[in-house]
Amino acid sequence: MHNTQVPTQRYSGTAITLHWLLGLALVGLFVVGLYMTSLPFSPQRLKLYNWHKWAGVVVLTLSFLRLVWRLTHRPPALPAAVAAAMPRWQHWAHHGTHHALYALFFAVPLLGWAYSSAAGFPIVVFGVLPLPDFVPADKALAELIKPWHKLGAYAMAALVGLHVAAALKHQLIDRDGLLSRMLPGRS
Amino acid sequence: MSYVRTLVLSLAALVSLPVLAQQKLVPAQSEIAFVSRQMGVPVEGRFKKFDAEVSFNPAKPDTSKIAFTVDTGSATLGVPETDAELPKATWFNVPKFPQATFQSKAVKGLGGGKFEVAGQLSIKGQVRDVVVPVTLTQSGATTTATGSFTLKRLAFKIGENEWSDTSMVADDVQVRFKLALTGVAKL
């Protein structure tokens, strides 16, 4: 019986690398975003705002590559035993969370970019590469966009929390080894 | 009779003399803007309040006099948080230096409506010689002077202490102006 078990199919190396790299970057961006907005007017605040924008542009670019990779490299299906053990709502939550996260990977940085443009501060990546404004510089528009960048980031943080909680639940409670599909190193 | 005539003519000449000094700035059609660079990002600001005393004769530019006053407290970047900082001692120190001034010393005609105005620029108690290229265009009774020049903000102590780091805010600040004047003789 123990020899008939099929080895769990893992995500590709590229998918694993992008997952952890972007995961760390998104947590970092969220924390810096919370911190920088609390700072008084200072060089430190200006520096963090620009770093936040530059990192956001890098995340947006990598998210695009990640999406292309995911669409061209089908992720491994859930192991049959795990899928069978999951009630219907968990299947729904599993797909819903991933789709919503992908939507937010694009929505949040694009809203940040739009906010920066509307506020009259075009983004110059690493201080050398000016990005085009895709919305006009308009204070009223900036105020309109601002809360959505924040709400999007909070929504993403909540979904990331849910994602992590679910992964830990599979690892520590169900002990079904699902996490090993995404862990770096072992293949 | 010829006595009276001479007197009348002399009076007429006296009355017509001050015409040159009656050149007036039309603030609503004028603007003074400045572009600084924050970590590579061009940020535009402007002064809302300024005035000029102009005595300018296009035929004899070297006899011209141009004096400018700019209310430093009227500087705005269009962002309330930043505008609240500009009057402070680190930036314009408005309580101590409420006005920046420019006083021309020599005006040179270059032909084709182009002039070169050399003079002294005084900001925040610092006086520097500057040469400003000016282009004049006329439409109806209005003469519009446009031009731009670059100044070094640190030479005028604009942005002191932690803000003197030019990797955060570049030393070069571009000043652009468009000044509408009435009463200027035909070019």
CATH code at A142?
1.20.950.20
In this complex, do A43 and B41 lie within 8 Å of one another by their Cβ atoms? no
Q: In the prediction, which pLDDT does B186 show?
A: 86
Task: Judge whether B82 lies within some domain.
Answer: yes
Asked whether residue A125 is assigned to any structural domain, the reply reads yes
CA of A145 vs chain B CAs: smallest distance (Å): 16
Contact B81 A41 (CB under 8 A): yes
Residue A185, CA atoms < 13 Å, CB-side half-sphere: 3
Structural domain includes residue B171: yes
Q: Which pLDDT tens digit goes with each residue over A42-74? A: 999 999 999 999 999 999 999 999 999 999 999
CATH number at residue B140: 2.40.128.110
Residues in A closer than 8 angstroms to B43, CB to CB, are: 120-121
Place of tokens 């590559």: A65
| DSSP string across A69-98 | HHHHSPPPPPPHHHHHHS-HHHHHHHHHHH
Asked if residue B26 is part of any domain, the answer here is: yes
Closest C-alpha to A83, from A94, A96, A73: A94
Quote the pLDDT of residue B79: 86
Q: What total of structural domains would you count in chain A?
A: 1
Q: Do B39 and A123 touch (CB under 8 A)?
A: no
- Locate the chain B residue with the closest alpha carbon to A123: B41
Instruction: Say yes or no to pLDDT of A78 above 80.
Output: yes
| 3-state secondary structure (DSSP) of residue B47 | strand
Residue B12 lies in a domain: no
In a domain, A148, yes or no: yes
Domain limits for position A146: 13-181
What residue ranges of chain B have pLDDT lower than 70? 1-21
| Interchain contact, A124 vs B40, CB within 8 Å | yes
Residue A176 maps to a domain? yes
- Å from B54 to nearest chain A CA? 34
From B28's Cα to the closest Cα of chain A, the distance in A is: 21
Contact of B88 with chain A, judged by CB distance below 8 Å, is answered with no
Model pLDDT, residue A7 = 60
A4, pLDDT greater than 80: no
DSSP B115-166: EEEEEEEEETTEEEEEEEEEEEEEETTEEEEEEEEEEEGGGGT-S-GGGG-T
Structural domain including B138 reads: 19-182
- Domain-embedded: residue A119: yes
Q: How many domains does chain B have?
A: 1
**B133 lies in a domain?**
yes
Residue B75 lies in a domain: yes
Preferred mutation among B34, B35, B38 to probe A, highest tally of A CBs within 10 A: B38
What's the mean per-residue pLDDT of chain A?
A: 93
Per the domain annotation, does B127 fall within a domain? yes
Residue B106 placed within a domain = yes
Q: pLDDT of A99-135, one tens digit each?
A: 999 999 999 999 999 999 999 999 999 999 999 998 9
Question: pLDDT band at A91, cuts 50/70/90?
Answer: very high
Q: Residue A80: its pLDDT value, please?
A: 92
Structure tokens at B16: 């017509």
Interface check for B162 against chain A (CB to CB < 8 A): the answer is yes
> Within a domain: residue A175?
yes
Percent of chain B beyond pLDDT 90?
75
Separation of alpha carbons B139 and A74, rounded Å? 68
